[in-house]
Every structure is written in structure tokens, then in C-alpha cells.
Amino acid sequence: MSDVLTFVLPALLQLVLVLVLAPLICGIIGKTKARFQHRQGAGILQPYYDLAKLLRKEVVISSVASWVFRCTPYLVFASTCLIALLVPTVVVPLPLDRVGDIITVISLFALGRFFVALVGLDTGSAFGGLGASREMSIASIIEPAMMLAIFTAAVTAGSTNLSIIVAKLSSTPASMMNPAHLLAFSGLFIVTMAETGRIPVDNPDTHLELTMIHEAMILEYSGRYLAFVEWSSQMKLVIFLALLSNMFFPLGMAASMSPWALCVGGAAFFAKVIVLAAVVAVVESTNAKLRLFRVPELLMVAFILSLLALILYFIIGA
């Protein structure tokens, strides 16, 4: 009973939190962008309706597609849920923090991406291949960039275990402000924009073949499959925002399971995520989508920033 309380319950709570929060954040971002464009925009709850609708709709499958096509949505969703169990949001240490560390998280994202890219090639449509090719190329730079960015935080804590990193950082707030840290943060921010398929790297809400990346891969998806893929990409956004906020500014995170602490932590987390979401929306609205072959330069910037952060950390010894 006790370990149900200490392990399973908090884990499930966190999972549910992310699951529930994800569409909302997207809704908020959408709304903000609409405002920037002087539009009314859909309500912030729109994504929930979409998901509910999609879950009930019938699925159209290409006759070319193989079992990879049918399994991938579940696999992607699963891996994202798994990540949701590993990334600290409200409370540290997480019950499952020993199961996987930051490298695991990144690799799990890679796993999802791997299969989505395969789906792009599975249906035999030119769009899919285009999307897969672009996605993997971009990933091949942002993935290392992300790792380096997080390693900077990791070495301060002397561990790649997320909970430990966060705990260490929150115990020494001074180190949040050191330059290496800030570099890493900006690196990770660019990574987030790219990973979650946002302007200036990708445009989530267009199907224009010249620009789209992520949408191109999942173009053949519909109904329930699409629902899960979309949902998991929304969760991905939340997770990244969580990483951004808690890896670098773990303010007000709950250090124990006491209700009060949890409330504070929850509030803090919500606030931080909202703020970051707003920032994302602002960036999206104030920037133009880059030409595809200018994107690598941007990503290289992220990579270099993170690398600098890491090396800087050593030179000045933090």
C-alpha cells in the first residue's frame, strides 16, 4: 500500500498532469498567435475537442502501408508517456527517476522520431519521404545540441539523473545565473522550437509542401492514429517547456509529497509553463519561417551555443 502511494500514485498523477495539460498549452499558444494576427482564434480548449473528435473518427489507411504504419502511433504515444514519467514537473525526486536519466529521455524522443520517419516512407507518398528526410536531417543536429545543453546542467550536478540535477540546482540558486547556464538555456530554447516543429524551423499549422516537415510525415494519418500522434506532439511541447523551466530555473518545486508543497509546486510549474508558452507564441508570431536550407545554420547556432556552454563551464570551472 505504502509503495503504491510513494511510487505508482505520484507517477500516474504526473502522467495525467502532462496528458491533460498538453492540449491546453497548445490551445493557449494558438490563441496568443491568433491575437497577434488580430484574429479571434479558436478557444483555448479547441485541441481537446479535436482530439475527442479524432479519437472517434474512422481511420483511412493507405493500401501501401505496412504494420509499421499501424503500430507507430501507439509506440510514439507510449514513448512520450514514458518520458512524461521521467521528466520532473512538480515534485522532485520523481518516483521513477532511477529508471531513466536525461540521455534516456533524449533517446526515447529519438525512438519516437525514428518510427514517425519510417511512417513517412511507409506509405510511398513523396510528401512522407520529404518530411522524413528533413526531420531526420534536422534532428541529427538538434539532438546533440540538446544533449550538450543539458549536460551543462548535468555536470553541475555531477549526474545525468534529472531529479538530482533539479534538486542540486534548486539547492544552489546562485548557479542558475552563471553564464554557461544561460548559454545552455538559450541553446535548449532553440532546440525546443525546432523539436516541437515551431516557426522559424517548421510551421505546425500549414500543409504547404515547401515548408512542412513534421506535418509531411504524418500526412497519411487520420482518425485515431492522428489523434495519438498529435497528442504526443503536444505532450512533447509541454515536456520541453518543463525541461526548459525546471532544468534551469527549478524555483518553487516541491521537495516532498506534502500537499502544501505539491500545491506550490503545481502552481509554480503551471506559471512557468504558461510564461514559456507565451514566449514561444511571441517568437513564432514575430519571426518568419526560415528557408529549409537556412535552418541548419540556426541549428548550428544552437549546437555551438551548447558546446560553448559546456566548454565555458570547464574553463571557468563554474
Residues 186-225 close enough to bind another protein by CB under 8 A: 219-220, 223-224
Task: Tell me how far, at minimum, the Cβ of 89 lies from another protein, in Å.
Answer: 17
Task: Tell me how far, at minimum, the Cβ of 279 lies from another protein, in Å.
Answer: 26
Which residue, 264 or 292, has its beta carbon nearer to another protein?
A: 292
What whole-number distance in Å separates Cα of residue 194 and Cα of residue 305? 15
- The candidate with the shortest Cα–Cα distance to 125, out of 54, 195, 69, 58, is 69
Contacts of 312 (CB under 8 A, 6+ apart): 179, 180, 183
What whole-number distance in Å separates Cα of residue 189 and Cα of residue 78? 25
Which residue, 43 or 124, has its beta carbon nearer to another protein?
A: 124
**305 contributes a contact to another protein by CB under 8 A:** no
Task: Tell me how far, at minimum, the Cβ of 274 lies from another protein, in Å.
Answer: 26
DSSP string, 212-260: -SHHHHGGG--HHHHHHHHHHHHHHHHHHHHHHHHHH--TT-BSS--HH
Which residue, 126 or 210, has its beta carbon nearer to another protein?
A: 126
8 Å CB contact between 136 and 185: no
Binding residues for another protein restricted to 149-188, rule: CB under 8 A: 151, 154-155, 157-161, 164
Identified binder of another protein from the candidate list 23, 47, 95, 100, rule CB under 8 A: 100
8 Å CB contact between 102 and 154: yes
What whole-number distance in Å separates Cα of residue 36 and Cα of residue 192? 21
Identified binder of another protein from the candidate list 20, 45, 99, 177, rule CB under 8 A: 99
**284 contributes a contact to another protein by CB under 8 A:** no
Give the range of 48-56, 174-182, 184-192, 268-276 binding another protein by CB under 8 A: 48-56
Binding residues for another protein restricted to 122-141, rule: CB under 8 A: 122-126, 128-130, 132-134, 136-141
Task: Tell me how far, at minimum, the Cβ of 114 lies from another protein, in Å.
Answer: 6
Buried b (16+ CB within 10 A) or exposed e, 187-216: bbbbbbbbbbbbbbbbbbeeeeeebbbbbb
Task: Tell me how far, at minimum, the Cβ of 263 lies from another protein, in Å.
Answer: 28
Identified binder of another protein from the candidate list 82, 180, 201, 226, rule CB under 8 A: 82
Which residue, 197 or 266, has its beta carbon nearer to another protein?
A: 197
Which residue, 216 or 268, has its beta carbon nearer to another protein?
A: 216
Which residue, 110 or 271, has its beta carbon nearer to another protein?
A: 110
List beta partners, residue 91.
254
DSSP string, 90-120: SBSS-TTTTT--HHHHHHHHHHHHHHHHHHH
Whether the CA torsion 127, 129, 130, 135 is positive or negative: it is positive
Size of the site for another protein (CB under 8 A): 86
8 Å CB contact between 306 and 58: no
8 Å CB contact between 65 and 105: no
Which residue, 120 or 250, has its beta carbon nearer to another protein?
A: 120
Which residue, 133 or 285, has its beta carbon nearer to another protein?
A: 133
